[in-house]
Amino acid sequence: MTPFGERLAAVAAAVEAELAALLPPVEGPQARLHEAMRYAVLGGGKRLRAFLVVATAELLGTSGRAPVRGGAAIELVHAYSLVHDDLLAMDDALMRRGRPSCHHAFGEATAILVGDALQPLAFELLARPDYGADAEQRCRLIAGLAAAAGSLGMCGGQLLGLVAEKQRWPRADISAMPRLKTGAPLRCACTAGAILGRASAAEAAQLAAYADELGLAFQIRDDLLDRGGEGVATGKDSGRDGAVGKATFVGVLGETGAGEALEELRQRAVGRLDIFGHRATVLVELFEFAIRRLS
């Protein structure tokens, strides 16, 4: 494993431990719901959003529990979005992270409640005064995550994704969905690290711009994996976007054009980090990982 891979795994383990401790135990009359919540959150995923919080905060000289908590909260919102995206009314996915999607494992009604419960838990965890962030930082983290998850962020992007089925969109329009659905949570993660690291206005602006490039690149790589990936490798249903006629970067640009777009985004993202010098190496490595990942 590379040094970057080791660091990614270490942060994932720390976030996993934080989530395991903060999710409700499987007991009481709500035991089935709690079991399904833990099923949806624990034991899978690369925790890239949480890693982005931690890496950004560390870039600015802040480490410890606060970035891990911030990352854990964003991972809860991400998990809720996956549970709801997988539902019959949305993507109707059979698999998620190499095992049955939550509604196939626990039933649709319970899966809806899982998402409904995970989202407020994320905000509760950010509001608590037990992880080293002061009151102003906690308020800014809560406001940022709320905006990233709402109608002008992740939820709005999901709607655009549904509208995009059976439509042929030019590149300028097709960018709108990933900028909201994928990009807004990544931007939130980067901004959360900047808040905890007390970034200057100039630093925060460059980090947000880097996250925007990362969000688009992440979606393009997802499109490429959906086009050519196998369920065993990706851990989720593959080929669905093409089957339903959804407009994708690969569909508009072709695989060669999508690869060229990834390189353009990489160059722009690396340029955004010039203000930090060698301290930004880990964010450069994260971008490389995001555009070359196999799942």
pLDDT band per the 50, 70, 90 thresholds, residue 232: very low
Res. 246 pLDDT band, cuts 50 70 90 = low
Residue 239: other Cβ atoms inside 10 A: 13
Q: Identify the pLDDT of residue 217.
A: 94
Average of per-residue pLDDT across 147-158: 94
Give the integer Cα–Cα distance in Å for 229 and 239: 8
* Between residues 284 and 164, the one the model is more confident about: 284
| Element (DSSP H or E) covering residue 15 | helix 3-22
Please write the tens of the pLDDT for every residue from 20-70: 999 999 999 999 999 999 999 998 789 999 999 999 999 999 999 999 999
- For 174, the token pair is 């097709």
**pLDDT, average across residues 139-156:** 96
Indicate if the pLDDT at residue 169 is higher than 70. Answer: no
Phi and psi angles of residue 167, each rounded to the nearest 5 degrees, phi first: -120, 150
Tell me which DSSP letter residue 165 carries: B
Q: Are 132 and 66 in contact (CB under 8 A)?
A: yes
User: Comparing C-alpha atoms, which of 253, 198, 172 is closest to residue 220?
Assistant: 253
pLDDT of residue 230: 45
Q: Which residues make Cβ contacts (< 8 Å) with residue 202, sequence separation at least 6?
A: 275
d(CA 153, CA 186): 11
Distance, CA of 161 to CA of 178 (rounded, Å): 8
On whether the CB atoms of residues 125 and 22 are closer than 8 A, the answer is yes
Give me the pLDDT at residue 104, please.
96
Q: Higher confidence at residue 252 or residue 294? A: 294
Q: Tell me, what's the pLDDT at 156?
A: 92
The span from the CA of 177 to the CA of 164, in Å, is 9
Residue that the structure tokens 């270490």 belong to? 10
**Mean pLDDT on 3-10:** 95
Q: Which of 71-75, 140-144, 151-155, 234-238 has the lowest mean pLDDT?
A: 234-238
Span 240-250, average pLDDT: 60
65, 51 contact by CB (below 8 A): no
pLDDT per position as a tens digit, 193-230 = 999 999 999 999 999 999 999 999 999 998 898 876 54
Average pLDDT for the chain: 90
Q: 100: which strand partners?
A: 95
